[in-house]
Amino acid sequence: MIGEAKEFVSTAGSSGIQGVAITGQRLEESRASTADSAGPEAAAPASWTPVEESNFFEDLKTGLVLCKVVERLVPGVDLTTKGIYQKPRTRATCVANIDKALSVAWRTGVNATNMCSAEDIYDCKVTAATRCVSEIFEALQMRVREVRTRSREMLVSMNARLSPIGCALSKATLTGNCEALVDDFADCTKIMALLVSAGKASVEDLLSLAHRDQTGRLHGAELDTVLEENGRILSQVLEANGCPILLAEKEFARPPAPSPDTLLLQLHFIWRVTLGTPPSPSPDLAALAGAFSTQL
């Protein structure tokens, strides 16, 4: 069973969203000892070294390997440099780390039937842990495949909502140009307009973003700061609507590798939030479209 689990996870990791085999790694404890009482974020990140198959489930017990797995699969997630115990010594701190990783995994739409508790992983319940880790990989891999297959359908559907309010997607985006896709969504205004058209955000939310006429005059660090602030505002609205947030605030403008898959995956979750809502702009939004038709 251990060999099968190691083989599965190594294979899945090599073809996952970041293309990195994760479970052939583990944290090597540094010489300087840091007590659990120091809490999350107290210790510097440790280094990684290969593990033996026989140690696979023992290594899962600390939660550190699982956090690294989740980091590689979910864009924008950073658990190993903040928010976890770098040197867990007790059951409580190990379980806390595992819970951190599982909480991120749950946001990706995993099948609850195949998931297990942090205690199951800590107690090395092989069947439950194997099924859970397998589900995390499968959920993300299947999601990426679905996103790629339905990307054109998704973008055409989004454009049907955006066109009537004066912020249609570019023709290049609709014909599969990756650079145009990133550029269309970089300042988050089209995403927010999509949410407004579906009744998931307010006109005030849209007005709070820096629009194209403003960002078009900025460069370098100043532009990055403004785009990141737009990403922060959008993330708050997405969270309020229960939408999984896979991109960091700055990554809406510059999606991490493999791009554009990471952006398409985030857009897919947003699309699901708006599905089933008639694209009927309110009078306020129609007026807004007229005022900002050259800016969105």
**DSSP secondary structure, 197-266, as one string:** HTTSS-HHHHHTS--HHHHTT--HHHHHHHHHHHHHHHHHHHHHTT----S-GGGGTSPPSSTTHHHHHH
pLDDT for 12 equals 39
Lowest mean per-residue pLDDT among 105-109, 177-181, 188-192:
105-109
Tell me the average pLDDT across 235-249: 89
- Bridge partners for 28 per DSSP: 47
Tell me the average pLDDT across 183-211: 92
DSSP annotation of 49 reads: E
Average pLDDT taken over every residue of the chain: 77
With bands split at pLDDT 50, 70 and 90, how would you rate the model's confidence at 288?
A: low
pLDDT for 253 equals 94
- Please report, for the chain, the start and end positions of each structural domain, with discontinuous segments joined by +: 2-141, 166-292
pLDDT for 267 equals 93
Please say if the pLDDT value at position 68 is more than 90: no
Q: pTM of the entire structure?
A: 0.60
What value, to the nearest 5°, has the Cα angle with vertex 220 and ends 214 and 221?
90
Please say if the pLDDT value at position 133 is more than 60: yes
Tell me the average pLDDT across 272-279: 74
Superfamily of domain 2-141: Calponin-like domain (1.10.418.10)
